[in-house]
Amino acid sequence: MSTALVGYARTSTTDQKAGLEAQLRDLREAGCTKVFQEELSSVATTRPELERTLEYVREGDTLIVTKLDRLARSVADLVAITEALRAKGVALRILAMNLDTATPTGKLMLNLVGSIAEFERELMLERQREGIAKAKAEGKYKGRAPTARAKAKDVLRLKADGLTGDAIAEKLRIGRASVFRILRDAA
């Protein structure tokens, strides 16, 4: 049975280089012999490197992450990931929490912490919605400024220059759907 220490690091954007480097350093210091990394938002529909990580680990291995939020987006996501790891006989260690699911206490703590994190996020979202409703009632809330619409002229110019919708989205750092919405509205 192998006993590899496998790391997984994730940052939300490519602008968070220091955060990624810190995670990689911590994972190396923890003894990880293989590290998977990706730079994409936790709300992304797929996380290819996490999927590769989960395919890679074998019975007896330990998956190590620096913090819980680098691994899971919600309690449901956490449960799915930990169930996949458990089915393969792989332990999970979260460095910032000194938590290791190879122990019964670690398993219990992971479930408790995940539930508390989700509860905290729901409370934060509820407070945010209440604040927005209050600001709207007072006429102070205008919403977020539309970033893509402000770049409509650039989108049309780049399309006229022969760039594809995907290339325009990447160049202007706006969503692909926004590019196609602007092009459709201009037609």
* Residue where a domain terminates, one of 103, 128, 160: 103
For residue 5 the two structure tokens come to 């220490």
Position with higher pLDDT, 52 vs 111: 52
Q: Is residue 122 part of a domain?
A: no
Residue 38 CB: number of other CB atoms within 10 A? 17
Q: Is 12 known to be catalytic?
A: yes
- 177, amino acid identity: A
Q: What CATH number does the domain containing 34 carry?
A: 3.40.50.1390
119 assigned to some structural domain: no
Distance of CA 25 to the CA centre of its chain: 19
Of residues 63 and 79, which shows the higher confidence score? Answer: 63
Owning domain of residue 180 = 149-186
Q: How many domains does the chain have?
A: 2
- Both 11 and 94 in a single domain? yes
Interval 99-120 mean pLDDT: 85
- 111 falls within a domain: no
One domain, residues 153 and 77: no
Q: Are 88 and 58 in contact (CB under 8 A)?
A: yes
pTM: 0.61
Do 92 and 154 fall into the same domain? no
Residue from 12, 42, 74, 178 carrying the catalytic annotation: 12
Query: Tokens 């092009």 appear where?
Result: 183
